[in-house]
Chains A and B, each alone.
Chain A
Amino acid sequence: MRSDRSASAPLGLKIAAIGGLAFLHIPILLIFLYAFTTEEKSYQFPPPGLTLQWFAVTWNRPDVWAALTLSVKVATIATAIALVLGTLCAAAVSQTRFFGRETISLLVILPIALPGIITGIALRSAFSFADIPFSFWTIVLGHATFCIVVVYNNAVARFRRVSGSLIEASMDLGADGFQTFRHIILPNIGTALLAGGMLAFALSFDEVIVTTFTGGQQSTLPIWMLEELIRPRQRPVTNVVAMVVMLVTFLPILAAYYLTRDGDQIAGAGK
């Protein structure tokens, strides 16, 4: 097939592309718009009037703060667990050869391929079976299962590019395992870990299904939003929260994208 870069695309294709993008993003803009509406019981278009009062109302709602704090805590701790375990696992799989290596690689990735509802049910029955009460920590564990995958995938790709002889060279020059990790491995995989960590954080932050199955009485932010949609009162508060969630998750993902892109260039330059 021939592709001519200078030629302009046909009009029909342009319209289709614009239509597709509009379909993806206009609903999101509408969410933003209704954060400012004066009508609190239903979403009517156009909004009868615009107001900033919902920001103040949201600010003063303790349930919003509780849900937000919980979500941030869960995402932070799940990401931290994932960073440690995911990195260790990636190091083992990419730097050494042992029996069952491919199997372990597959088993680590499996949780993200499984539908969340299966992970959720499995964890829930396992927790009940082991008599572990549902709490903050069961949510964290549930989230860590898929956060590890994201970190692992990022780290394993980068580990493959850190040649084994770099580690041997470091040891040869007198660095023990810890010094080698700190001075050689970490700088080379650092951006991959940051990217993986940010993706893991964002995934955990808007997770609903696993949380429903592993949470106790606590509501993380997405759960709180689901509950809020059913209630007819102060609807625009949900929209305000949605805007905040978008910012909180979008910025790290954007940063992760730029960081890994730079990382590729740095790692490639040495070869």
Chain B
Amino acid sequence: MTLLNIAEPGMSTAPHQHRRAIGIDLGTTNSLVASIRNGNNMVLPDAEGRMLLPSVVHYQSAQPARVGHTALAQAQADPANTIISVKRFMGRNLRDIAHAATLPYAFVDTPGMVSVNTAAGEKSPVEVSADILKSLRERAEESLGGELLGAVITVPAYFDDAQRQATRDAAQLAGLQVLRLLNEPTAAAIAYGLDNASEGVYAVYDLGGGTFDVSILRMQQGVFEVLATAGDSALGGDDFDRCVVDWMLQQTQLHGLNAQDSRQLLSLARQAKESLSDHTDVMITTTLSGANQFSLTLQQTEFWQITQSLVQKTLAPTRRALRDSGLSVTDVKGVVLVGGATRMPHVRQAVAEFFGQAPLTNLDPDQVVALGAAIQANALAGNHSEDQVLLLDVIPLSLGIETMGGLVEKIIPRNSTIPVARAQEFTTFKDGQTAMSIHAVQGERELVSDCRSLAHFSLKGIPAMVAGAARIRVTFQVDADGLLSVSARELSTGVETSVTVKPAYGLSDDAITRMLQDSQAYASEDAEARALRELQIDAQRLLDATHSALTEDGETLLEAIERKQIDNAITELQQCLQATDRPALRAASENLNRATTEFAARRMNRNILSALSGRKLADVGT
């Protein structure tokens, strides 16, 4: 028997035509499902009243997969078949997964995306995520009393096209219709009703179990635009637990604990951490194996002290996101806290101090993303008369092309909102060059070798001209789905060629974070490397020009002694060319320049003479 819910005025459905829609926060550590019932937005609990579903799946042979708490319980006993944090593998190749060797899984390097060999066969991250989603779907169907119209599923703002597509595929496999994928920070902002608030810039600070993300959003006319994202994919509440364990070990002078004891300490640490959000001290008492007993008291102030460095670590990405968005803290109108770890008072305090204002905290930080997704789902299902919230995305890393000497010319800077198109003109490097190889790359570094290669293609049919005369316009275009197409067009003839690539395909957020960090850490090395390459290119161009001049006029215009001087300068420059000694290279280039100045002048005079000879002054004057 169907139980009825209260609808918005005029929005009653016909019998059997329910518009049940759900919002799903498919998290790295935990997942949640929320829905609006009787005008009430609520996270749907399981039969035991638990809101969070651990994002863990345990596979057994010839038995259905276990999902959630029961799967998590198997993590110690059967690590190889218990898939934890599968979100980190979504849309990834084996080579993209950092520390694959340290993980307990039998990875299979399947094309397109990595898989894991389990007792139930080969499982791709899409299938594992589908099992999690299926469990949430069943919970929602039981709670809402029937079939669902669809779901809004949240993804990190930095998720690329491959990861978004993998999430969609997982939903489809789980029998869910995806109404929309929604960025997590945007979902949080919607949960706080910021889409109905006044226009402005908002920051979303998301400190989860194992990941930290910070996003800067701009809300304009009910539309959220992600201005910038930054984060640390290996920083979360779990690190605070480990700090407390280290403190316990230091206090008790215990060493070499077995796995069971370590696990016990970790769970005690977590309880202590949670308790210290509301209490000024906590007593930690336990008996470990071998009758090892201890009883410790941890003060809130001491806990803050030992974890202060972790809190500080979140502020660097926060600063970076703000800088990338081109804004300062005074531009930020509101700050939203997401993730269970933001319950800790010293985290809240650090955020408040950084932004100079108290963050929004009245919603449960574990639930805020799912609640925002539910609001969006409800609107998309047609239960809500107000206009739906639109969304814009950004590209996570700069896109550019390789120029001479392995240098990168950035065409679209990172954090540009998509869709976007940018064009830049390039020219030929050598006389008579009729083809140009276009190499599209992604990354923040100055040298191609430090960036990620996306695509190679060539533009052929450039008319033969002197170096630098051809004009080739290279256009980069990223559509709303994050698909990049690159085209090159020679402007005088109109010959054109193009290629379509998926920009961030197979790039993990770790890799993205690392590439961003490297670009800052190596800024001075990169500048040095670029300067050297540029000198080398200039030197090579000078050598090429000298060679061709010598071939043409070396015999007729030069004395033997002059020729020898030039040859010596050439040899000297060639020797410096591959070295990294910039002053020497510059000196050798200048030397060759000097040695050829007279020669160049004679060629110029001779050419002018031959051009003028036999012509009347009147012809030349015009």
Answer yes or no: do A and B interact. no
B residues near A (Cβ < 8 Å) are none
